[in-house]
Structure 1
Amino acid sequence: MHGPVFRVLGPLEATVNGCRVTVPAGKQRTLLATLLLGANQVVSLDELTERLWDDEPPRRPRGALHTYVTRLRQMLDRHGSGTGDLIHTSAAGYLIEVSDLDLTRFRRLVSEARTASERGDLASESDALTEGLALWRGPVLHDVRSDSLHRDVVPSLTEEHLRALDRRQEVDLALGRHARLVGELRALTARYPLHERFWRHLMLALHGCGRSAEALEAYGMASACLRDRLGVCPGPETRDLHTAILRGAPPMSARPERKV
């Protein structure tokens, strides 16, 4: 027997006793996703109502919500007797009891990375962040239809991902792992062209590999992108790095200041 496994760092997934649970699109999927994002805590009736119906709640949202919770419990029970009992009712709302959730594991690994950083163990910090980042399978809950969820919750989760990714790159640069970062950073600057730190990390990685001309080209691309899309120039750190590379400074590493 395997305990329930839930995933929110990408498409919504639920597995019970080793079998994938097919969560119907619509309100049940939104309900499960919302409960999982507040796993092991009571999610208020107001929040659940907003996530399920956005700005158009039914006349009796409490009764409609109870119906969807009942259906969700029944669906989970079909895959494992008693699994539906993971969802608890309180006067304030509903709670799902979860012991295996990718978001919880990610945050625990980020915490372990922070502890490693505090004792100066950059290799262990990189390992923990790498393990945590591997849990991300794509855009958060892109298969869940809820305007308010994607407006109010998903952006902060995406920012957690970017902070961890940025930090792991910073640590790997400090460890001299320039060559292995180049391909990853080229892909990230293409996907997040306005995230200036990714451009700076790419410049550092290229310069560290002895590819200074390409590092200067990357600066030119970053400058053009920021100017064309935001009407601004790169920040002082990026400009200083550009100047250092132009002057033929030796390869350098990012200073790994704790930010995650």
Structure 2
Amino acid sequence: MLNFRILGAIEIGSPAGSLRPKGALQRALLMAFLANSCKLVPTQTLIDELWDCNPPDRVENALQAHVSRLRRQLVALEPDSAPRLLTHPSGYRLIVEDDELDIATFLNGLDRLRQQRGTAAEIARETRALLALWRGPAFGGFTGGPIAQAAAGHYEESYLSALELLFDCELENGNHQHIVPELRRLLVKHPYKERFRQQLMVALYRAGRQADALDVYQDLRHQLSDDLGLTPSPIMREYERAVLEQDPVLTSVDPQSRGIPLTPAPRRQLHVSG
């Protein structure tokens, strides 16, 4: 059994050793296969992924050479197993099971947690365990070609979605003080992520820091105006109103709203997770 890790540096591990692909083309090839694990990837798709608009002469032979090199390295990691990298008339396919690929473990676990009816503490604990799979940006931060870029974007959105679920559960569990530093750090990297700002405003308000909660809104307003010439969304303005008026909904706990995005609401009807 091999362990394919792409949440951080790209690495393949086995009892026989480990492999980190060397060279941009070998990385791009492995990234394309792992973004399409067990699916046939057409030859032309791989050519576009590796060379974009500048393929070399006899490009199919060049691709075949890179595939052969990767196949030999995989065989060396599990010499007594059937080959994983298969050649088809129209392309290539890498056999990778879900439990061998960290991103598949993460995505499947996140789907399960979204449907789970456990306690907030249980789901928060399991979500943190899933998030611990991320050792860094997907594919180690390498951009790759169109396949890898699209996959990395999807994985990043799922990562942020997991964080939103985590903070909903932590708020529901009364851990508002604990998550304030985490949310502040995230907003440095994702300053326009309104959901994190909403959760931070609730956490600060529940900690008795009403002025700080309002500052979170004002910071967004200034950033949007200065950087993009925009104003906060109706959702964010509703949050500001709720904090100004000390709306009781900000301190209510409603497990049914866990993970549900906030929507603009009439006066005194704001929905707040946790």
TM over 0.5: yes
Deviation at 1:52, TM superposition (A): 0.9
Shift of 1:69: 0.8
Q: Structure 2 counterpart of 1:50, which letter?
A: D
User: 1:86·1:97 contact (CA, 8 Å) conserved in 2?
Assistant: yes
Distance 1:157 1:115 in 2: 19
Cα deviations across residues 11-43 of structure 1 (Å, max 9, x unaligned)?
Answer: 211112163213212211211121111112222
Name the CA shift for 1:159/1:58 in 2 (closer, same or farther; >3 Å): same
Distance in 2 of aligned mates of 1:134 and 1:113: 15
1:42-70 per-residue CA deviation (whole Å, 9 max, x = no partner) reads: 22222211111122123333222111111
**Residues 176-231 of structure 1, C-alpha deviations (whole Å, 9 max, x = no match):** 22112101100011110011111111111111111222111111111111221222
In the alignment, which residue of structure 2 is the partner of 1:70? Answer: 68
In terms of mean alpha carbon deviation, does 238-247 or 127-136 score higher?
127-136
- Asked if structure 2 preserves the Cα contact closer than 8 Å seen for 1:5 and 1:14, the reply is yes
Match of 1:37 in 2: 35
Q: Distance in 1 between matches of 2:213 and 2:151?
A: 36
Aligned partner of residue 6 in structure 1, secondary structure: strand
Residue pairs, 1:120-139, within 5 angstroms? 121-139=119-137
Whether 1:115 and 2:115 are equivalent positions in the alignment is yes
Structure 1 vs Structure 2: percent identity of aligned residues? 31
Q: Residue by residue, what CA displacement relative to the aligned partner does 1:237-258 show, whole Å, maximum 9, x if unpaired?
A: 2212212212233442583244
Shift in Å at residue 142 of structure 1? 3.6
Specify the alignment match of 1:204 in structure 2.
Answer: 202
The 1:136–1:30 alpha-carbon spacing in structure 2 relative to 1, beyond 3 Å, is same
Question: Relative to structure 2, which stretch is displaced further, 21-30 or 187-196?
Answer: 21-30
- The TM-score, its normalising length taken from structure 1, stands at 0.88
Contact 2:29 2:46 in 1 (8 A): yes
Q: Secondary structure at the match of 1:218?
A: helix
TM-superposed deviation, 1:6:
0.8
Aligned-pair distance for 1:149?
4.2
Select the residue among 18, 21, 24 that pairs with 1:20: 18
Give CA-to-partner distance per residue, 1:89-128, whole Å, 9 cap, x none. 2223212122311011001101211220xx4644443333
Asked whether the 8 Å contact 1:206–1:212 carries over to 2, the reply is yes
How many residues are aligned here? 255
Decide which moves more: 100-109 or 17-26: 17-26
Structure 1 Cα separation of the partners of residues 105 and 241 of structure 2: 41
Find out whether 1:51 has 2:18 as its counterpart. no
Query: What SS class does the counterpart of residue 153 from structure 1 fall into?
Result: helix
Task: Return closer, same or farther for 1:147/1:89 CA change in 2, 3 Å cut-off.
Answer: closer
Long gaps (5+) in structure 1: none
* 1:73–1:83 Cα contact (<8 Å) kept: no
Q: 1:82 to 1:28 in 2, by over 3 A?
A: farther
Q: In structure 1, how many angstroms separate the alpha carbons of the residues matched to 2:21 and 2:160?
A: 28
| Alignment match, 2:270 | none
Gaps of 5+ in 2: 262-274
Tell me the amino acid that sits aligned with residue 25 of structure 2. K
**1:170 counterpart (165, 168, 171):** 168
TM-score of the superposed pair, with normalisation by structure 2: 0.84
Deviates more, 1:29-38 or 1:166-175: 166-175
Question: Which shows bigger deviation, 103-112 or 141-150?
Answer: 141-150
CA distance in 1 between partners of 2:59 and 2:130 (Å): 37
Contact 2:7 2:140 in 1 (8 A): no
